[in-house]
Amino acid sequence: MDIHQILKKLPHRYPFLLVDRVLELEPNVRIRALKNVTINEPFFGGHFPTRPVMPGVLMLEAMAQTAALLTFSSMGQDADEGQLYYFVGIDGARFKRPVEPGDQLVMDAELLRAKSGIFKYKTRATVAGELAVEAELMCTVRSRD
């Protein structure tokens, strides 16, 4: 899935769209996506000026956007169909290495459970095969109204 297809699935836009490409997608099961981290990211100006590091909350957001792509693709929905994707919970978040400009963040999300409109995912992100962050994310899809 390229950026044009991603833009159809997610309502996020620059500077908050944090997925550049979907590498693998198995509907209702798992997804693998990519974020190219560049020095031009707006957050690097202040986090941190002498040692730019991607904020952990944005790594979690990138993994949630990846999970949202899995959900919307599995449901056959696009962003303009009146649905938004919200965080419900984050469990066991662990940050293992910093993510810096020039890195490619490869994000994996596996659907663990979908019940009563709540989706639970096992997520992880790596850089050059090395674990950067992992967490269990819970999200829900709700009407925009």
Q: Which of 21, 30, 32, 47 is catalytic?
A: 47
CA dihedral 124, 53, 43, 95 (to 10 degrees): 30
For residue 15, cis peptide bond before it (omega within 30 degrees of 0): yes
Classify 91 as helix, strand or coil: strand
Whether residue 47 lies in the annotated active site:
yes
Closest CA to 71 of 4, 119, 33: 119
Task: Give the Cα separation of 145 and 126 in Å (integer).
Answer: 36
> What does the chain come to in residues?
145
Residues forming the active site: 47
